A and B are shown apart, each in its own frame.
Chain A
Amino acid sequence: MATSAKVVLKLGDDISTDVIYPGRFMATVLPTETPQYAFADMQEFNAKLKKKEIPADSVVVAGKNFGCGSSREQATSTLKGYELTIVAKGFARIFLQNSINLGLQTIVCPTIEASEGDELEIASGEVVSKTTGKRFPTLPLPKARQAIIDAGGLIPYTRKRVLAAKSKV
């Protein structure tokens, strides 16, 4: 199933979790409360998010190593709160795992080229730019991780394991 959405933010390489969710807001932990601080130091974009000017499924395009640094899960839940899709040339390990666990849409697309305002179609195995007509192959997530995504995230996945163990007793 292909979906098409607009690029609302274009970022470079090595975007750290301090940029996505500054450390000074880490006392806020609940996924229901973290979205207010998404990209808090990029005030204009943060304001647009808070005013609900960014529709769900909008795309953030980034370079290599998106989400590097701290393991803070707020950096994932803050983006999940707006149902953003992150298309990056690469992701840092902990951020990628957190995103799979919480169901944040992350697309590994090593050659992606796009500008803010472009319309991207996230298809199976590729990202297609409706604006430039270019196609960019995506890398699949490993099978083991797909199982967590299919279960709707790590919480339901682990819950299933707990219930399976219970029924065995």
Chain B
Amino acid sequence: MGMTIAEKILARAAGLPAVEAGDVVEPRVDLAMSHENAALVINQFQEIYQGTGLEAKVWDPSKIAIIFDHRIPAESSKTATNQKKVREFVAKQGIRKFHDIRGDEGGICHQILPENGYVRPGAVVVGTDSHTTSHGALGAFAFGIGATEMASVWTLGSVLNVEVPGTIKVVANGSFAPFVSPKDLILYLVGKLTAEGANFRVIEFHGDAIRKMSTSGRLVLCNMSVEAGATSGIVPPDEETSRYLREEAGVKDNAAFVLPDADAAYGQVIEVDVAQLIPQVAFPHTVDNVKPVDAAAGTKVQQIVLGSCTNGRLDDIEVAAKILKGKKISKGVRMLIFPASWRIYKDALKRGYLADLVDAGAVIMNSGCGCCLGVHQGALGDGEVALSTTNRNFKGRMGNPNSEVYLCSPAVAAASAVTGVITDPR
């Protein structure tokens, strides 16, 4: 029987001719990513070596990436001290794929990795962040792990005891209607699958709607696959993957693709005609509480957030700028924009998008995770409602358990900014 992409990648990385769902393997890691929580990884890493009489050296500094994005610039002395500790570790261990709080290299980890060519098709990528699933957009098997697991990876260069996941095949055909985007597709799928519908499984994305989609859109799908519990979301690499790697990520060598076998076994197949999709909204307080936008229309909002590892890319900012150009954001609404990287920030600046957004009343924040996880920059007041292009709306997510977060696409966010209530952009 044939293998899925996940099975093929794991078999290769574990040095086995073939694996199937349920097997336990120990894959070699091609890229190990952490953000500020590297501070905890360092602690656990040093503990592993305690009493061994050996010096704590990472297995391969060229395969470790550390990107500061969650709390930048530091919101507290505690964070600043953690960041300092990570900088010292990075220097000592010779880790070069380190992206500090700098305009010439910084941004959100799930944008920095692809745009710098760190992720290749067929790679095994692990990250101490659940949205590491994003990198499946380039045909990698990428999944989130905890800090202690990462300390073990830094030590051994492999992930211990990975159970090969089964795969759900999504086949998305057709063309998106105007103002409908990959974000609406993934919200729809999370709603359909539910928050645990893909737990311990991989989602493989097929169909002509995926083939026609830019890498930016594929990153949205894979990013939010974890919201259905998926270990990983994967798009089979193609011409677009090569184009992205060559033109946007500056990769010179030709990447070898890992593709699924025609007779691969899928536990479940979901077909979607994207032409039938209308804008979707996830209601508080779970990501799978998804309804068509009309169900939320008219809901008053106080804060609108455009950005994050889900929807902070140039095409997302472009959509918002085009809707808001020459208009004014409703009084009583604050709109915060977090570009996913400084490279995107500069591109949006050059194209005039940021000026259009500022003229409309938006506030351009520094590139980073911002208020998505409720640490700093844009907490909500008691009883306030936010509409956000981010990926999570759990109770308390934006820093206040007495507030509500609705999730949507950039087009819905921008259209709603004008009216002050959740609005269908069509």
Contact = CB atoms under 8 A, between A and B. Distances in A.
Interface stretch (B208-216, B394-402, B407-415, B417-425): B394-402
Interface in B49-103: 49-54, 70-71, 75-76, 78-79, 82
A73 B147 contact: yes
Nearest to B40: A29
Interface residues of B, number: 57
B394 A154 contact: no
Contact of B396 (A22, A72, A145): A22
Contacts, number: 161
A140 B395 CA distance: 31
Interface in B151-180: 151-152, 155-156, 160-161, 163
Contacts of A28: 78
B392 interface: yes
From DSSP, what is the main secondary structure of chain A's interface residues?
Answer: helix
A98 B399 contact: no
15 contacts: A14-B288, A18-B373, A22-B401, A23-B374, A24-B399, A30-B43, A65-B199, A73-B40, A94-B145, A98-B148, A102-B146, A148-B161, A158-B155, A158-B160, A162-B156
Contact of A92 (B49, B147, B199): B199
B402 to A, nearest CB: 9
A55 B247 CA distance: 59
Contacts of A72: 37, 146
B129 interface: yes
Contact of A26 (B70, B130, B288, B401): B70
Contacts of B139: none
Most interface-central of B37, B43, B49, B50 (chain A CB within 10 A): B37
Contact of A23 (B78, B146, B195, B397): B397
B48 A101 contact: no
Nearest to A15: B394
B397 A27 contact: no
Contacts of A155: 44, 47-48, 148, 151-152
B150 to A, nearest CB: 9
Interface of B: 24, 36-37, 39-40, 43-44, 47-54, 70-71, 75-76, 78-79, 82, 128-130, 132, 144-149, 151-152, 155-156, 160-161, 163, 195-196, 199-200, 229, 231, 286, 288, 373-375, 392, 394-397, 399, 401
B374 to A, nearest CB: 5
B276 to A, nearest CB: 28
B130 A29 contact: no
Contacts of B286: 14
Contact of A71 (B130, B151, B199): B130
Most interface-central of B49, B50, B148, B395 (chain A CB within 10 A): B148
A97 B75 CA distance: 30
Contacts of A94: 130, 144-146
B49 A162 contact: yes
